[in-house]
Each structure stands twice: as C-alpha cells, then as structure tokens.
Structure 1
C-alpha cells in the first residue's frame, strides 16, 4: 500500500500533486472533486500521444491512492521550460521557437479517437458565468469555425514542457482533443498572455516584457512551420477566452481574459 506521507512531493498543480516514486517513476495523485474517470481519461490520452511517437512519459499504471485517483508514469528528469527561462532569460527566443516546434509536432498527428475541441469548448462556454449575450455570441462564432481532426493538447504552456537530458518532453494530456490546431495555439497564447506573477511593480513589468518576447518568437515560428497567420489566431482567441472563464482563475487573469472574450461583441 502506498503511503503519500513517505513520498517526496516534486510538483503541485491545479488538478493534482506529483510525487517521486520508486527509482524512475512519478506518482500523479489527483485532488478530490474531479470526475471518477479523470485518471483513466488522462492515461488513455497520454498513451495515445505516446503511441504517436510524441515525446511524453510512458503511462505505467492507473490506481487509487488514499481514496484518490492516481497515475504512475515514467519519470523525466529536468526543469520545466518556465522555470528554465526564469534562470536563462537570454534564451527566450530560441526556447520560444523550440516550444513552437513541439506544438507543431503535436498538431501533425491525427486524433479521431478523441472528443472534439468544439464540443469541449462549447460545454465550457455554457458553464461559464459570462453574460448570456456574450455566451451566445461565443457559441455562434464557434459554430462558424472550420473543423479538423488533428491532435490538440489543450493545455500547452511552458510548465507542461520538461527539458530532460534526452530532449524536451510534453506532459499533462488530460485536456487533449481532436480539432483545428490554430484553436490550440489560441489557448496557448491566452494562457501565457494572461499569466501573472507575484512581485514588485518592476518585476511584473519585466515579466510582461519576457512574455511578449516569448510569445512573439513562438507565434512567428509556429506560423512559419504550419502556414498559419495572426488573423486566424485572433479569430479563435476570444472564443477560447469565453471558455476559459469557466475555470477558476486569479482575479487579474480573469479580468484580462474577460476583456479578450468581449472582443466578440
């Protein structure tokens, strides 16, 4: 029987905490309150990504630990991309391009077995607390967008990329869907652009500048790789923002996200 109090916690996210486990594994344990098939769902999606040849940890087991859902995964040693950039700010441009290349690799995969991005996003918009006219506008705009069946990560941001000695590794596939890749790019841009840090005014200003530099490198390189453009991106961003408002967000991030969603009106 696994006793969490005897394990070393190595990361804590919004949905789960991660512990070092045995010699070369990690134990991802979900917080209470999520659907009872959440771990099975993530395991299936992570396995699918692994089978496409994408750099992602191998799923070893799905289990219950102290009445909580859990996964055992292959351990990939290395800092997350966001923590790396805090220590190596001069690498923002090449790391933004690396990030774009990884995202493009994800989007080259077909993903017909998965739920669609549009279905998932429509449900999130419906669950959000935004005004009904804005909600209706977001749904209508979503229904006008083209469909596709390519793999979308759904939560692709620098904290979900690990820089291992064998190369970058993509983690956290629970939100993966099949859809139009540019919608996934819009989600990434939204996540990064509305992210916040605690600190002095000067530190926050420096962080904003670094975000802009990273996003510029990411977007430019992704557009080059995938023949997309900022007009396509700007069409999706407010729709994705409307869905994002169904999530628990810090006050400042929520306000910024609402401003973006209101571009639909």
Structure 2
C-alpha cells in the first residue's frame, strides 16, 4: 500500500478486473483470476487497510510455518480499492463437500478439529492479541449491559496465549482440493489461547450453516448442535496439549458475545439468546 516499504507491497498495479474473470463474491471482497496460478482478492471500497494488511501478514505467517494456507504474494492497490494476490486454490468448501451426507459430516468435522490442532501448534507471534480483540468486540456487541458486564468479567479471568488462532475457522473457510485441504480467510487471525479459538469454531458451527439444500431448514438447529458437539469431542481428543470441555466452555460467553459486534448473516437472535443465558448462569 502507499507509503509502506515492504518489498511485498506494491503501490499500484495496472489492473482492470474483468467481471468475466470473477471467481467469487462476498460481502467484503471479490475474487478474480489473475496471472496463471494466482488470484486477486479485491476488497470493497472503504475497507479497513489495517484489516487487509492483517490478513496478508497472517496468511504469510501460516504458510511460512507449513500450514495449508494459500501463499500471499503482495498487497496491491487498484484505484480506490485494495487487494491481495494469492496462489490460486481449486476446490469446494467443506460445507458443500459434506452436504447432507452423515458419513462426510462425521469425517469432515473430525478432520477439521485435527486441522485446527495443527494450527494451534504454531506460533502466532506478531499477530493481534486475542483477548484485546475479544474485549473490543464485547464492548461493541449488540447485547444487554448485564451480559456485557458478565462477558468482560469472564474474559478478565481467562488466560492469554501465543498460539496461532485462525479466529474464523468454519466449514466455508476450508477448501477441499485434490491436493488436500486449504484454509483461507485469515483476516481475523490472532495470537491467543487455543481453547478460545475452538470455542469460536464450535459457536460458528452451532449458530451458522452446516448443511445446504432444501431439506436443511427443518433439521438445521439440532443438526448444528450435534455437529458442534462432535467437533468439540474430536478437538479435545486431538494431539497436543490437553484442552478439556470446561476450558472450551469457559471461553464460550466472551467469544459468543464478541461475535455479536460483527455482521451476522443468520441466527443472530438465537446467538443473542444464548449469550444472555450464559451471562445469567455466570451471575
């Protein structure tokens, strides 16, 4: 970006993204095919430059420590928009890979838990502090003042850490490719405690989409709860330092509360009700 001296940052590129080359679009960015083997993740105008830089740093940190993250090459500017050049990854999301097949759900989420254990075995040194990020989110969360007070009080009693935490690991941020799994969207990565990151993934599974298709609506809530339980069990039994169920549960209130500071596509009311319930239990 302008004014930065990093050799991986370009001030501008002669690029005019062709809509015909667009591979995907989300709330915060579009993804375009770029040079052979690369893609450009072009963020919407007005995106926070520091958030983009944070994703670049985190993706490079993960890739540099041998994790299955696409290599980030450079931060680039195109007019009023900023983007990141990544290696291209061909695949479909874990969400779509699992679909409504119970066998794929069981195996897929077990593998997701083991992959998260691999991530947590790496260092997050240099990334934002997890507890500070959660504290800021809780302060801005759309919850009652009583729940806010309870979440902040709980957070202050929990330990910090230096483990690499993805911060947003869920089935749509994992791509299943012929060469193995790839983890994308490292924008929320932090240095912190593994149990907090596991709690966030369990919360995202429980209050987000796990299955897709017309049959999903009637069974979505109980299925999400079941899959979140299975994922948590697999994570606890995975290799690495012991993380108990009590450790993960202790982080659920502050993690879920902080989630309500951001944009939520669905299930916000259900998540808020869970936060209020947990806060009442903590009182």
The TM-score, its normalising length taken from structure 1, stands at 0.92
Cα offset, 1:62, TM superposition:
0.9
Contact 2:92 2:175 in 1 (8 A): yes
Instruction: Give CA-to-partner distance per residue, 1:224-261, whole Å, 9 cap, x none.
Output: 014222222221112111101111224x5111111121
Contact 1:92 1:210 in 2 (8 A): no
Instruction: Give CA-to-partner distance per residue, 1:160-207, whole Å, 9 cap, x none.
Output: 11111111111111111111101001111111111148876x531234
The residue number in structure 2 matching 1:177 is 190
Q: For residues 105-254 of structure 1, what are the structure 2 equivalents within 5 Å?
A: 105-196=118-209, 202-225=215-238, 226=240, 227-250=242-265, 252-254=266-268
CA distance in 2, matches of 1:17, 1:63: 14
Secondary structure class of the residue paired with 2:91: coil
Structure 1: gaps spanning 5 or more residues: none
CA-atom RMSD in angstroms = 1.9
CA distance in 2, matches of 1:5, 1:207: 37
Cα offset, 1:89, TM superposition:
4.3
CA distance in 1, matches of 2:186, 2:216: 31
The TM-score, its normalising length taken from structure 2, stands at 0.86
Q: Which runs of 4+ in 1 moved over 6 A?
A: none
1:94–1:68: structure 2 CA closer, same or farther, 3 Å change rule? same
Secondary structure class of the residue paired with 2:172: helix
Cα offset, 1:210, TM superposition:
4.2
Cα offset, 1:112, TM superposition:
2.2
Secondary structure class of the residue paired with 1:37: helix
